[in-house]
Amino acid sequence: MLQSARLTLKHHRFEVVSAVVAAILVGAAALWVGARLAELDIPGRCYPIWLGSVAEMTPECSASIRAFQEVYSAPAGLVLVAMGVLPLTVGLIAGVSVVGRELETRTAQTAWALAASRRRWFARQLWPILVVLGLAMAFAATAASLLVASRTAYYFGVLDDIGLHGPLALARAVMALGLGLVTGAALGRTLPALIVGAVLSFVLLFAAGTARDAWVQAQQPVELEYAFVGNPMFDGRWVEQAWRAPDGRLVGEAEAEAMALVPPEGQADPWAWLAENDYDAVALGIPAETLGYWEPMEVGATIVAALALVLGTVLIVDRRRPT
């Protein structure tokens, strides 16, 4: 088995080595930038002051925040952009070569004739590449998570940078591998398979983003324990300003306007009537605990899609002519 794995990795050494080197470089860059951010050791009071009231900013905080922004906006931004491309690139290039290149170079006919089973041949081709690339991408995804975590003391939303680090980045690499496998097996040409796989990858990412937005909008907002305006480090998602009526009812902004609670235009402060009549301003939003349910669901759906693509490749390999 190990001998077979070594031969497989040697046969696909260009794709495997390129993917591993890219993952290691991005992961190392993430660790380096994360270490630079950690070294800044910004006082905990500085970021809330900077986000809430510039007038209270001290020279010490101003210098610290400026240094943080310089590191996070450029080096960290480039690393996260790379993490958006890396899983798709690594997965597609490696996946297309497993079956597609065999068909394109016309070596599949000999390989399939000598193999006891096409499925066993496919499994022997796939698992070494999956393990090696999985380990490399796990390193890059973990390093990117450490980079993203380096800013959680300052500002962070649960759904910020989703898919650019952690389990979802790794799952997307596996899904891209599955897309490369199925397009390579179906088309039998490397370049067309890469193009089709890239298009399908972006379609699936767009569909995932659309589903995520729809899911967030479907969540019932709750009254926050603290007002969003005074707490800019809220890590959930703010929805709208609302008012607590004297009778305890929660009146949203749209309902307030529809019920004509606000006086006609022309008044100096059209919303002052609410405060004068004992309506307390509150903030409605979706807490981080609720938003945190999305990522595990997307990871699971992505893995299921990847397994379906691998199964589809198995069916194609079983039935396809080796030319």
Judged against a pLDDT cut of 50, whether residue 192 lies above it is answered with yes
pLDDT band at 174 (very low <50, low <70, confident <90, very high): very high
Judged against a pLDDT cut of 60, whether residue 305 lies above it is answered with yes
Judged against a pLDDT cut of 80, whether residue 116 lies above it is answered with no
> Distance between CA atoms of 124 and 16, rounded to whole angstroms?
15
Please classify residue 74 by burial: count the beta carbons closer than 10 Å to its beta carbon, then call 0-12 exposed, 13-18 middle and 19+ buried. Answer: exposed
Nearest of 290, 288, 295 to residue 152 by alpha carbon = 288
- CA distance readout (Å), 193 to 71, 118, 178, 199, 309: 38, 21, 12, 10, 14
Which amino acid is located at 163 in the chain?
G
pLDDT in tens, 224-266: 765 444 455 567 787 777 888 888 888 877 777 666 566 656 5
Residue predicted with more confidence, 299 or 152: 299
What pLDDT score does 175 carry?
A: 97
pLDDT in tens, 28-48: 999 999 888 877 766 655 766
Predicted TM-score of the model (pTM):
0.85
> Distance between CA atoms of 67 and 49, rounded to whole angstroms?
16
260 by DSSP, 3-state: which? coil
What pLDDT score does 229 carry?
A: 46
What pLDDT score does 110 carry?
A: 80
pLDDT in tens, 130-141: 999 999 999 999
> Distance between CA atoms of 136 and 17, rounded to whole angstroms?
10
Q: What is the mean pLDDT of residues 70-80?
A: 83
What pLDDT score does 270 carry?
A: 60
What pLDDT score does 186 carry?
A: 93
Q: What is the mean pLDDT of residues 268-293?
A: 79
Mean of the per-residue pLDDT values of the chain: 83
Sheet holding 250-252, edge to edge: 222-223, 280-286, 237-244, 250-252
Q: In the chain, which ranges are E strands? A: 222-223, 237-244, 250-252, 280-286
